[in-house]
Structure 1
Amino acid sequence: MATCGEVLVTLLEARGVEFIFGIPGVHTVELYRGLAASRIRHVTPRHEQGAGFMADGYARTTGKPGVCFIITGPGMTNIATAMGQAYADSVPMLVISSVNRRAELGSGDGRLHELPSQRGLFAGLTAFSHTLQTPDELPQVLDRAFALFASGRPRPVHIEIPIDVLVLPADHLRRTPAAAPSRPGPCPRAIAEAAQLLAAARAPVVLVGGGACDAADAVQRLVARLDAPTALTINAKGVLPPAHPLNLGSNQSLPPVRELVAAADVVLALGTELGETDYDVVFDGGFRIGGALIRVDLDPEQLVRNHPPRLAITSDAGLAVEALNAALGADNPVAAADGAGARRAAAVRERLEAGWSPLQRAQRTLLDTIRAELPGVIFVGDSTQPVYGGNHVYDAEQPRSWFNASTGYGTLGYGLPAALGAKLGAGARPVVALVGDGGVQFTLPELTAAVEANIPVVVLLWNNAGYGEIRRYMVDRAITPIGVELYTPDFQTLARGFGCAAERVDSWAGLRAALRAAAARTVPTLVEVDEAAPFLHGAA
């Protein structure tokens, strides 16, 4: 007789789940009873936060939900930060946890791992949190979760299973998943109105968010038809290729782009929150939309947040763009380099280029060097200076190739474990974790998980002996720096002790050689760069 825990694994496998990230515990062992006989691969992090970040990285790379098995109580509170990051960035994540027996829930008896209300605690970090009262609920609640991932705004879903329900007989349960719902398309009348506004626009601008990252070809055809300068959020990098004549990069917080947007007579926003971490990283409230705003988003509530639209279209961004292309007659993906919009974009890019600091230019050279040595690279970043710089100066060659924790929730410790999940989803494509010496210490033990699981990521460690960005922030505000000057360990020795390769580089040639060596290894490689190294500052 198959138990509820065993049938759960069968149902996940039927839905295409490839990996489960988790740390077994006494309350979750029944989830593992059927795992060995399945095709699902289990990856063991060294902390449940790492499990959540791995699931996040896998989901962002593949577009499929990352799945975690998490222990009751402390396991769930450990993963909460990762769930918060995924919630903020609309990342599909399925967290399946145990919970105390049904008769014990909310008792306050002080049982192992007991929380007053685990489901209540995580309701605010999820699209929904559900307590399974009987095995019979299992197929439908999984259908609900995967329906959300397929056609709604993707966010974490939490399903908790009492430990007495895990062992109940479940042979009778339906094993076939429900048909995935189609993604919502736009209202034809709204598309006709949007097309009319866009066709009449003299100076349009397009703002593209992560919700459109799977519609790159359609977006390129649309912006070419409109001859519209186009800004990409950080999660939308790669929707336009680097050399595209209409590409403004991800610089909506900087004056040249802000001025262009404020002067536009029509602004089309596709799958973007229009939120602070993409449009106001200088925190001055200075991003303004002066013309008619057309917004397209899966989430009707998001359509009226931050910047109220003249026209709001609830739709999958890709389907809306295809409908706009049909209405406008947009069938050419190549933008003319000499169009009025391309000239406006070129003028903005010229102003941006003149404003980059020497350090930002060095960081761009660093990232471009890595891309040249590791073609097809996916960059997964923590909150660290090369990431902050790269958000502005780096243009990805394709979508889902640049993402980091500086958006949305903004947690430290994300980069390393998220890169491991990304690599598992990326197959042969190289993955580089961009981390700082401060943030990496949050999750450094995940290097052992990478060695154990044979995940050959490159960890580019930017060492400035502390929390460099916060140090500068305090100094700029005449605050005596406290708590930002860190003791930094010998990362080379630590990495080798974990079973990784490790190199410290002090020249561009040394960096290239280290990357080539890393590409040939089957274990992770830590490549350490000192922020003060002369080669980063123009010295030979």
Structure 2
Amino acid sequence: MQETKPLGVQISHMLKDRGVDVIFGIPGVHNQEMYRGIEEAGIRHILARHEQGAGFMADGYARATGKPGVAYVITGPGLCNIMTAMGQAYSDSIPVLVLSSCLDETAARRGQLHQMLDQEAAARTVCDWSYQANSAKAAYDLVDRALVEFKTQRARSKHIQVPITLLESQASAAPRQSRILAKLIGMLNADISGLGAALTVASYPLFVIGGGAAASLEALRKVVRACGAACFETYAGRGVIAWDDPLNFGSALARPSSAQVMAQADCIVAIGTELAEVDLWRNHMGHECPLYRIDIDPECLADEHRADVAINARAEDAMARLLETLTPSSSLWQASDVAHQRDVWRAETEVERPGIIAIVEALRAVVPENAMIYSDMTQFAYVANEVWPMTRPKHWHHPSGFGTLGYALPAAIGGATARPSHPTMAIAGDYGFQYSVQELGAAVELGQALPIILWDNGKLKEIEDSMRSAQIAPNAVIAKNPDFMSLAKAYGANAVAPATFAELRQAVTEAFAADGPTVIYLTPEIRA
């Protein structure tokens, strides 16, 4: 007879069997059964200070490893707190699985602890799907469905809730992991040879490269080189094409004049990108030529940009097959024109947010190339996203889609947990840092060598600038900040406030070698 254990225990064992090594979360009376089996299963648990932080940690872990980030939360407020992180993971295509407890009965009872009207439906508004498991088999099936979909479809956050009594009830172990771990997405309506022919005869071929193209790096670089194509990168796609490639326009899609470059193209290939509002900040790229879209997500292939040819495929599969059909061509793009345009955009960035470029470059001088960086919604990061040369893809993570504040610190903790022998850094603004400052406690507990660049311009400067441009008298953009140095030290973290670029470089170098997190406090008054 097969041994039974509480279902909460069996779920942890199942996750371990499926390759989950770390779980982020906070225990409570409603989900404690999920915690009964964590240590027994050999899973490491990272204790967050807030469920939103747990979700961002899972997100950061997933971005660093490519594996699903898993979080355990309680009924009601625990789930509500993590929903912001679920929304961010959904919009940025990150595999995050949230498992929560839920009440056994809500329709006929009121006034229960942590009660919501419809917890399952609430979670569904910010993730790919949210379901309640009403049996052990359903719980196992939903976990496997989530893990398989992470491998075979566009990764999005998912939520599974299990009633408290069911978590406590005895259940047999989950079935062993299926050998069917992934399926290749085939070419649907894809005439890859037609794309090869179009690129061969194009005089101004242009690629728009998103984060989904990272897995095709080697083949994509060969394709771009063979057809003499110029390219743009989304923020998520930086590093796929070499930063110093002479025909790389960089991550300047949001610059209005990038539409004029698009208008020059006679064949555009958008690969692994939604071409979302947060990529373009306009409704049309500006092109008049045929648009080829290559994406794993059929929804992207039928969006407002209306590709002339839609190719439903993984980027790496499409590029491998394209290489077989591509004939080298001679494009008319000029490296000098690309370099000039990049200089123009750099100058625009400096005018819009003066002085930040020089600080960014002083910082970059001492950050290792293999560092993984997590940034928040702050002007310092906005500038860095445009001018920081990325030498490898998937090493700068920014909450572009949902655009939440408070992302950088907990996400960096998750990333550092995933890569303990490699450098990780966080970049946050003074306002957003306070959304998740409590997670400093987790970083201190973990002993993570984590430089945290804290940019304090004393206000919500981006909002103030936006108000002024809209001819609104700025209001509600200045808040009293704490003494960040003392606050960091109160958590047990290191803290330093460099006054010069030389001191900044020294502080960052020491922070990467420290035995805990270091808050590096910067203001616009820092001197060269």
Which TM-score bucket, shorter chain as reference?
over 0.9
Equivalences for residues 406-425 of structure 1 within 5 A:
407-425=400-418
1:379 — aligned with what? 373
Partner secondary structure for residue 32 of structure 1: helix
Listed one character per residue, the Cα deviations across residues 294-340 of structure 1 (whole Å, up to 9, x for unaligned) are 0011111111113011100111112111111122157xxxx99x974
Shift of 1:421: 0.9
Alignment match of 1:55 (pick from 32, 53, 58):
58
CA contact (8 A) 2:252 2:258 kept: yes
CA contact (8 A) 1:295 1:303 kept: yes
Q: CA RMSD in A?
A: 2.0
CA contact (8 A) 1:367 1:394 kept: yes
CA contact (8 A) 2:75 2:114 kept: yes
Q: Does 1:397 align with 2:391?
A: yes
Give the alignment's TM-score, normalised by structure 1: 0.93
Listed one character per residue, the Cα deviations across residues 433-481 of structure 1 (whole Å, up to 9, x for unaligned) are 1101111111111101111122221110001111111112112333222
Change (3 A) 1:509 1:251: same
CA contact (8 A) 2:203 2:332 kept: no
1:204 — aligned with what? 205
CA distance in 2, matches of 1:213, 1:189: 20
CA contact (8 A) 1:9 1:35 kept: yes
Amino acid at match of 2:522: V
Corresponding pairs, count: 524
CA distance in 1, matches of 2:487, 2:71: 28
2:508 — aligned with what? 515
2:312 — aligned with what? 314
CA distance in 2, matches of 1:341, 1:185: 36
CA distance in 2, matches of 1:290, 1:437: 43
Amino acid at match of 2:385: N
Q: Does 1:430 align with 2:434?
A: no
Shift of 1:432: 1.4
Change (3 A) 1:365 1:130: same
Change (3 A) 1:181 1:106: farther
CA contact (8 A) 2:27 2:73 kept: yes
Change (3 A) 1:365 1:113: same
Amino acid at match of 1:29: Q
2:323 — aligned with what? 325
Amino acid at match of 2:176: R
1:232 — aligned with what? 233
Equivalences for residues 273-312 of structure 1 within 5 A:
273-280=274-281, 285=283, 287-312=285-310
Amino acid at match of 2:32: V
1:112 — aligned with what? 113
CA distance in 2, matches of 1:476, 1:347: 27
1:485 — aligned with what? 478
1:532 — aligned with what? 525
Moved more, 198-207 or 499-508: 198-207
5+ residue gaps, structure 2, are none
1:139 — aligned with what? 140
Equivalences for residues 217-256 of structure 1 within 5 A:
217-256=218-257
CA distance in 1, matches of 2:189, 2:76: 48
Amino acid at match of 2:142: V
Listed one character per residue, the Cα deviations across residues 15-43 of structure 1 (whole Å, up to 9, x for unaligned) are 21121110000011100111112332101
CA distance in 1, matches of 2:136, 2:256: 57
CA distance in 1, matches of 2:433, 2:81: 17
CA distance in 2, matches of 1:503, 1:189: 55
Shift of 1:237: 1.1
2:94 — aligned with what? 91
1:451 — aligned with what? 444
Change (3 A) 1:456 1:359: farther
Shift of 1:256: 4.2
Moved more, 246-255 or 70-79: 246-255
Amino acid at match of 2:86: M
Alignment match of 2:14 (pick from 5, 11, 17):
11
Structure 1 segments of 4+ aligned residues over 6 angstroms from their partners: none
Listed one character per residue, the Cα deviations across residues 342-378 of structure 1 (whole Å, up to 9, x for unaligned) are 4553343243344341676743443343333231222
Change (3 A) 1:313 1:324: same
Moved more, 1-10 or 285-294: 285-294
Partner secondary structure for residue 181 of structure 1: coil
CA distance in 2, matches of 1:89, 1:204: 27
Shift of 1:286: 6.0
Shift of 1:49: 0.5
Q: Does 1:461 align with 2:454?
A: yes
Amino acid at match of 1:258: A
Q: Does 1:33 align with 2:36?
A: yes
CA distance in 2, matches of 1:23, 1:528: 29
CA distance in 2, matches of 1:201, 1:353: 29
Amino acid at match of 1:445: Q
CA contact (8 A) 2:202 2:266 kept: yes
Partner secondary structure for residue 39 of structure 2: coil
Equivalences for residues 177-188 of structure 1 within 5 A:
177-187=178-188
Equivalences for residues 65-76 of structure 1 within 5 A:
65-76=68-79
CA distance in 1, matches of 2:171, 2:411: 34
Give the alignment's TM-score, normalised by structure 2: 0.95
Alignment match of 1:442 (pick from 416, 435, 447):
435
CA distance in 1, matches of 2:13, 2:334: 53
Amino acid at match of 2:39: A
CA contact (8 A) 2:227 2:327 kept: no
CA distance in 2, matches of 1:508, 1:52: 34
CA contact (8 A) 2:230 2:333 kept: no
CA contact (8 A) 1:14 1:177 kept: no
Change (3 A) 1:402 1:304: same
Q: Does 1:348 align with 2:310?
A: no
CA contact (8 A) 1:274 1:306 kept: no
Listed one character per residue, the Cα deviations across residues 29-62 of structure 1 (whole Å, up to 9, x for unaligned) are 1001111123321011111010111111111122
CA contact (8 A) 1:250 1:278 kept: no
Amino acid at match of 1:99: C
Change (3 A) 1:175 1:246: same
Partner secondary structure for residue 308 of structure 1: coil
1:150 — aligned with what? 151
Moved more, 34-43 or 164-173: 164-173
Listed one character per residue, the Cα deviations across residues 474-526 of structure 1 (whole Å, up to 9, x for unaligned) are 12333222111110110000000000000001101100111121122111000
Amino acid at match of 1:23: I
1:500 — aligned with what? 493
CA distance in 2, matches of 1:344, 1:16: 49
